[in-house]
């Protein structure tokens, strides 16, 4: 999809805040508390909390904790950071995981859940989701993971989607299956009021080290963020 380019001079070359955790379980619990705090703040100030969820095992643990916390879900609008172009209900879809871990357990109105219709194909789904995002306020919080290659959401190193300024972007050539995906664009991530990364496991250590040293990997380019990192993923310099 076409759109304004992401300005290279606006890249953040390193995480702004690294929050260490002993293990993945502690990280998930602490981030869940942080989400609840930001939800209460946003609802108190603006009447709603606009939250984008990430996929992956570490966020799943966080969601399982989050469903037990005191959040006024009637005033939460849920979006998704990315989605795989698979059939509705497929076990590999991020929204399937989110419903199983969180959304199916809380009193959130169905109309407050904004899934990505990725089953329709990446191009159509990205265009429609971009329209939805462009018609609303900025996201209050985006939860993000990071792959071992430094990708985040479905924005992969060297992929053309990382250079698009569209609110949501079609990914047609992801290096891991499925190749077709839809992702929030970098500008949407950068415009969010808060960004939180959840990073666990020794396999992520090299990418985080590279970001700290200035590598412009996609995860680094989202701007200022809280990076919640477990002991296994923590670079030695930290």
Q: The domain spanning residue 157 has which CATH number?
A: 3.40.50.1360
Identify the pLDDT of residue 79.
98
Identify the pLDDT of residue 231.
96
The answer to whether position 91 is within a domain reads yes
Over residues 146-166, the pLDDT tens digits come to 999 999 999 999 999 999 999
Identify the pLDDT of residue 236.
76
The answer to whether position 132 is within a domain reads yes
The model's confidence at residue 112, banded by pLDDT at 50, 70 and 90, is very high
Tell whether the model's pLDDT for residue 30 goes beyond 90. yes
Query: In which domain, by residue range, is 32 found?
Result: 16-137+151-183
Characterise 97 by phi-psi region: left (phi > 0), alpha (psi -120 to 50), beta (else): alpha
The count of structural domains within the chain is 1
187 close to 134: Cβ distance less than 8 angstroms: no
The answer to whether position 227 is within a domain reads no
Rounded Cα–Cα distance for residues 183 and 195 (Å): 15
Residue with tokens 């989110």: 98
Across the range 20-30, mean pLDDT stands at 97
The answer to whether position 66 is within a domain reads yes
The model's confidence at residue 7, banded by pLDDT at 50, 70 and 90, is very low
The answer to whether position 39 is within a domain reads yes
| Higher pLDDT among residues 9 and 67, named by residue | 67
In this structure, what token pair is assigned to residue 172? 């047609």
Give the chain's mean pLDDT.
93
Model confidence, pTM: 0.93
Kindly state the helix (H) or strand (E) to which residue 24 belongs, with its residue range: helix 24-46
Across the range 104-122, mean pLDDT stands at 98
Other beta carbons less than 10 A from residue 124's beta carbon: 14
Across the range 71-93, mean pLDDT stands at 98
Identify the pLDDT of residue 237.
59
In the chain, % of residues over pLDDT 70: 92
140 close to 42: Cβ distance less than 8 angstroms: yes
Q: What is the chain's percent helix, strand, coil content, to nearest 5?
A: 40, 20, 40
Number of H-type helices and E-type strands within the chain: 6, 9
Residue with tokens 């995002």: 133
The answer to whether position 61 is within a domain reads yes
The answer to whether position 67 is within a domain reads yes
Rounded Cα–Cα distance for residues 236 and 104 (Å): 40
Tell whether the model's pLDDT for residue 137 goes beyond 80. yes
Tell whether the model's pLDDT for residue 14 goes beyond 80. no
The answer to whether position 205 is within a domain reads no
């Amino acid at each position: 999809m076409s759109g304004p380019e992401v300005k290279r001079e606006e890249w953040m070359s390193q995480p702004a805040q690294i929050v260490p955790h002993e293990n993945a379980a502690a990280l998930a619990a602490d981030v869940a508390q942080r989400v609840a705090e930001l939800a209460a703040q946003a609802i108190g100030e603006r009447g709603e909390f606009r939250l984008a969820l990430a996929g992956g095992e570490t966020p799943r643990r966080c969601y399982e904790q989050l469903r037990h916390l005191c959040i006024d879900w009637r005033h939460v609008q849920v979006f998704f950071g990315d989605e795989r172009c698979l059939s509705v209900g497929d076990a590999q879809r991020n929204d399937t995981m989110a419903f199983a871990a969180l959304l199916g357990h809380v009193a959130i109105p169905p109309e407050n859940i904004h899934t990505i219709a990725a089953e329709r194909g990446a191009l159509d789904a990205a265009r429609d989701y971009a329209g939805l995002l462009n018609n609303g306020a900025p996201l209050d919080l985006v939860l993000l993971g990071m792959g071992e290659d430094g990708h985040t959401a479905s924005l992969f190193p060297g992929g053309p989607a990382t250079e698009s300024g569209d609110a949501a972007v079609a990914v047609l050539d992801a290096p891991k299956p499925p190749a077709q995906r839809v992702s929030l664009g970098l500008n949407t991530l950068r415009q969010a009021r808060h960004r939180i990364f959840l990073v666990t496991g020794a396999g992520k250590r090299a990418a985080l080290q590279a970001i700290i040293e200035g590598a412009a990997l996609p995860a680094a380019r989202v701007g200022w963020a809280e990076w919640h990192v477990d002991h296994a993923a923590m670079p030695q310099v930290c």
